[in-house]
A and B are shown apart, each in its own frame.
Chain A
């Protein structure tokens, strides 16, 4: 079975500072990787995904994540955060192929708080 560990439950940063949210996964087979963001009282929004190809993936709002197979990590980074980035971020994995179909396994979440 696969599992996901988000190493920080809370990350406080100041506006315009860089941030890294850490995610490690465990799986004996190939996986697809995702980062979702959740704002208060809302559902999850897909931030970015790694399915195959380039190990560096980017979102339209400045976040990026790098898939590192040897370290089984998929850390999320942003060089300069805004107040509006305050939210909870979830790392998730899905088995590539096989019978996992739509099943996502999530980490426990990291609350990012951006202070002015």
Chain B
């Protein structure tokens, strides 16, 4: 089976812009979780989607949102970007509780 894919791998945006990141889970996996990784805060849970419904959410502001499509692909959106949003964004798909991570999208906000 193909692994979790994330696009794009690298992204540079300007403060105030918005960005959309995409994640394609492993075939057959219905759960997709998103994490933000920064040197200062480490790995933090953003949210999880299962069968197109958000079923868990971390402590991030409303500027961070996501959705999941009927084919289980997921997108996350960050509006009004801030410098502190620069991070590696990781997506993970899961089956029976075990999570498999994608390579991440490196977002740089200037």
Contacts and interface: CB of A to CB of B under 8 A. Distances in A.
Interface in A95-116: 99-109
Interface stretch (A11-19, A40-48, A63-71, A74-82): A40-48
B48 A42 contact: no
Interface residues of B, number: 25
Contacts of B99: 46, 102, 104
Interface string B84-106: 00000010101001111111100
Interface in B34-61: 35, 42-45, 48, 50, 55-56, 58
What secondary structure prevails in chain B residues at the interface with A? strand
Contact of B42 (A36, A99, A101, A109): A109
Q: How large is the interface on A (under 10, 10 to 19, 20 to 34, 35 or more residues)?
A: 20 to 34
Interface of B: 4, 31-33, 35, 42-45, 48, 50, 55-56, 58, 90, 92, 94, 97-104
Interface of A: 32, 36, 41-46, 49, 51, 90, 92, 94, 99-109
25 contacts: A43-B101, A43-B103, A43-B104, A44-B90, A44-B92, A45-B101, A49-B98, A90-B43, A94-B97, A100-B56, A101-B48, A102-B31, A102-B48, A102-B50, A102-B56, A102-B99, A103-B33, A103-B56, A104-B33, A104-B35, A104-B43, A106-B42, A107-B42, A108-B42, A109-B43
Given A36-B101, A43-B102, A106-B44, 9 more contacts: A32-B97, A45-B101, A46-B99, A90-B43, A92-B43, A101-B50, A102-B32, A104-B99, A109-B43
